Amino acid sequence: MITGEERGGEREKGQAAAFPAPVESTGADRWGRQRVPVLLAGLGAMAGVGAALGGYALLYEPFNVQTERIVLRLLRERPGIPREGLNILHLSDTHFRGADRREHAKIAQVRRATAGERIDLLIHTGDFLHDDRGLENVLALVDSLPKPRLGAFAVTGNHDYLFYSMKRAPLHTWRVFRAREEGVGTGIRGRPREGVDDSGMARVRRLLRFGRYLLQNRMDGEPVGTNDIAGLRRALEEQGIQFLDNRAVRLGGTDVYLVGVEDWLEGRPDLQKGFAGVPRGAPTVLLSHNPDIIESEAAGRADLILCGHTHGGQVVLPLIGPAYTHTDQLARSEASGYTRRGHTHIYVHRGLGESIPVRFGAPPHVTFIRLLPALDGADKFCAG
């Protein structure tokens, strides 16, 4: 007679014969079996997040045109500015290049953002063009804007003169860095300049300085061609925009002066010439594409400087801030919006367009500025 226990024992024996007894597995073995799917899932998640962020930066944010409004009071007594102030519409850095779908979408956004606004001044602080193919859309943009009561004014940006390639930007940046350090022209490669220390330690120190130079937001595109700046000016002047190339105008019915300078990098900016004829103490707005104009002491005569060029960094990284601002004079935190030096307000426009067509954390915008007289000579302003 076979007991139940024995039958069970027989079954276990039979099972053991058909299926080898499992070997007890270790944690390392389990991880070995699971490693591939876990890694694949991780890579898939990272690729998904990367694709989502890339899509956002490429297809959404560049078209998400914001409207910013800021009210500024002059920081010192300046007779002659209307009590009700001046309403300024400030645009900058359109960077049009004939990419019709992108540019028509931006024009439609700007039209919606500015429709029905009553403005005294229309200001564009340069880089209308990325290259000449963008002219037609620049004219369409200007045509879509409200008509200013006191006039439309502009200055040139570096891209209005030249178009650049970023393909060899690191090499070009190195040449510009060497030229700045040594006060000589670029274009000499492979042989030391006269009087330059080219010892091993000097090279190491130079590389360290170059690293610091890059970290200070310097990366220069290589100029590879010229734009038809004369054609741009002619076409825009026919639409009623006056270019202020190192010259000033007095706004009709006021004692407010607008001064504009040529681009800091590619033009011949001349503040002395620009301010010639502007009475000391007159309320003055200075237009300069590049904010580095503040390096010049004469810029302190302006009550407000309007500029662009930085694109707000275009890509603003968490914890780091703007990735690349292309300015020597502003801190990363000042690459977009309002800042100040002494009694001079400075407004840095992030632009409407892009050089490399992505934006992250630095959306394009139009800005309405209301500029008011000072309050009893007190050092006060309001922004928001």
317 contacts 60 by C-beta, under 8 angstroms: no
Shortest separation between residue 265's beta carbon and Fe ion, angstroms: 11
What is the C-alpha separation between 95 and 355, in angstroms, rounded?
7
Taking the CA atoms of the chain, what radius of gyration do you get in angstroms? 30
Distance between CA 71 and CA 87 in Å, rounded? 9
Residue 311 CB, nearest approach to Fe ion (Å): 6
CB atoms inside a 10 Å sphere around CB 226: 12
- Is the Cβ of residue 127 or residue 220 nearer to Fe ion in the bound state? 127
**Closest distance to Fe ion from the beta carbon of 148 (Å):** 23
Nearer to Fe ion, 75 or 348 (CB): 348
Q: In angstroms, what is the minimal distance from the CB of 105 to Fe ion?
A: 19
What whole-number distance in Å separates Cα of residue 103 and Cα of residue 129?
Answer: 12
Tell the smallest beta-carbon distance from residue 94 to Fe ion (Å).
Answer: 9
Q: Which of 168, 170, 164, 169 is nearest to 207 (CA)?
A: 170
CA–CA separation, 263 and 62 (whole Å): 25
Give min distance, CB of 316 to Fe ion, in A. 16
Which residue's CB is nearer to Fe ion, number 266 or number 303?
266
* CB-closest chain residue to Fe ion: 127
In whole angstroms, the minimum distance from the beta carbon of 72 to Fe ion comes to 23
CA nearest neighbour of 341 among 294, 293, 292, 383: 294
Retrieve residue 293's tokens: 């104009």
Nearer to Fe ion, 78 or 326 (CB): 326
Torsion of CA 327, 329, 333, 338, to 10 degrees: -100
- Write the CA distances from 332 to 318, 337, 357, integer angstroms: 13, 11, 21
Which lies closer to Fe ion via its Cβ, residue 284 or residue 325?
325
Q: Which residues form the interface with Fe ion (CB under 5 A)?
A: 93, 127
Residues 6+ apart with CB under 8 A from 98: 131, 133, 134, 136, 137
127 or 262, CB closer to Fe ion? 127
Q: Compare residues 94 and 344 and give the one whose CB is closer to Fe ion.
A: 94
Cβ nearer to Fe ion, comparing 276 with 356:
356
CB contact burial 266-283 (16+ within 10 A = b; e otherwise): bbebbbebbbeebeeebb
Please, which residues bridge with residue 316 across strands? 322
| Residue 174 Cβ vs Fe ion, minimum distance, rounded to whole Å | 22
